[in-house]
Structure 1
């Protein structure tokens, strides 16, 4: 009278995982890569001669992140 704990909808042990095509992953990978490069720029280089924005506002917003990631600051 004991019921089986396995559901018929679960895959069997011999089944392979579904594959994702590169065409589905590539746009997201490019977007995330670009976003990471922009964030790295703002945290690591947004001050001094390469500054896009004048003033120290961006520097103050990312100041703790700079120290956390090991960028010299002052």
Structure 2
């Protein structure tokens, strides 16, 4: 009976591109501030701390308020 040697194939890992924090951080701050502004308009505008007079903003974000659980009336 002949004895054969089996060598396993080398394991290759997918290449992962490393992103430096200096390239990601400005975009993360920008989108974070954008989300805070959006959250303000959906959750707090037309309340006690209203920046814009009238009901225009409230009507534009009315359904979003209910979807996110903010009471408005």
- TM-score tier (shorter): 0.7 to 0.9
Structure 1 runs (4+) greater than 4 angstroms displaced: none
The unaligned stretches of length 5 or more in structure 1 are 1-11
Q: How many residues align?
A: 63
Name which one, 1 or 2, has greater alpha-carbon Rg: 2
Deviations 1:30-67 (A, max 9, x none): 00000000000000000122000001100000000000
- Counterpart of 1:4 in structure 2 is none
- Counterpart of 1:47 in structure 2 is 46
User: TM-score normalized by structure 1?
Assistant: 0.79
1:15 positional shift: 4.6
